[in-house]
Amino acid sequence: MRKQFLLSGSGLPTVRAGHTVGLLGGSFDPPHAGHVHLTREALKRFGLDKVWWLVSPGNPLKTEGPAPLGLRMEAARALIRHPRVTVSDIETKFGTRYTAETLGTLTSRYPGVRFIWLMGADNLIAFHNWERWREIFGMVPIGIVARPGDITAARHSKAARTFSFARLGDRRSGLLPRASAPAWCFVNAPMLNLSSSAIRGRGDWAGRSNLNGTGTIGHEAHGQIPYPIGGPALP
């Protein structure tokens, strides 16, 4: 008899067998309303049961390290409070550095759960630079949400051309969770012109000034977002 719930190890998310979970990975340095918007669209357009924000210890493609993990985790949890969304440092707990490693561990630890990798169109443009990117396409379906200025370049990217045979049309986005990899779907959606790099560039990511010396947000900033996030909240 199959267990009703698949329980992970200590401190790891719990999910019901047969559910579909969207995985939104990134440094979230800082998290902002664009992440919330992508999450909302993914839940709706792909018919997901849950979305997990995978806050990574660092981005292998970036030379400069992000703000401390504890700070980014707390900012993400303060930003998005929704029963179907979990903020997790699962990559740190697994000890994985690359997405392919994380997906391999997740699919092994959570048999019976359908995972979908989520990302904005900007990530599809550079996806061929990711470690074992072809393998990632073959591991789980991929859901891509449009972002301002990236639509044309994303649709003509190397990854999009290589796996053009596996693309589901926008109107078939609801079929993605039960599709066999490789399968991917690019959905058009109302767009927010926000990015973590732009927020950092403007000097609006004031979280570092709230560090109390332990890599976490001090008491005076707890539960608050110490920078402008823009956009609507997740309903």
Residue 66 belongs to some domain of the structure? yes
- Both tokens of residue 230? 């823009």
Tens-level pLDDT at each residue, the chain (235 residues): 444 455 545 578 999 899 999 999 999 988 888 899 899 999 999 999 999 999 998 766 555 667 889 999 999 999 898 899 999 999 999 999 899 999 999 999 999 999 999 999 989 999 999 999 999 999 999 999 987 667 889 999 999 999 999 999 999 999 999 999 999 999 987 655 555 555 555 555 555 444 333 333 333 333 344 444 444 445 4
Residue 230 belongs to some domain of the structure? no
- Both tokens of residue 50? 């849950």
Residue 68 belongs to some domain of the structure? yes
Residue 110 belongs to some domain of the structure? yes
Residue 59 belongs to some domain of the structure? yes
- Closest to 59 measured CA to CA, from 29, 104, 22: 29
Residue 148 belongs to some domain of the structure? yes
The domain of 51 spans 17-221
Cβ atoms of 85 and 97 closer than 8 Å? no
Q: Are strands 15-16 and 5-6 parallel, antiparallel or unpaired?
A: antiparallel
- Both tokens of residue 34? 């664009």
CATH of the domain at 119: 3.40.50.620
Residue 1 belongs to some domain of the structure? no
For the chain, how many structural domains are there in total? Answer: 1
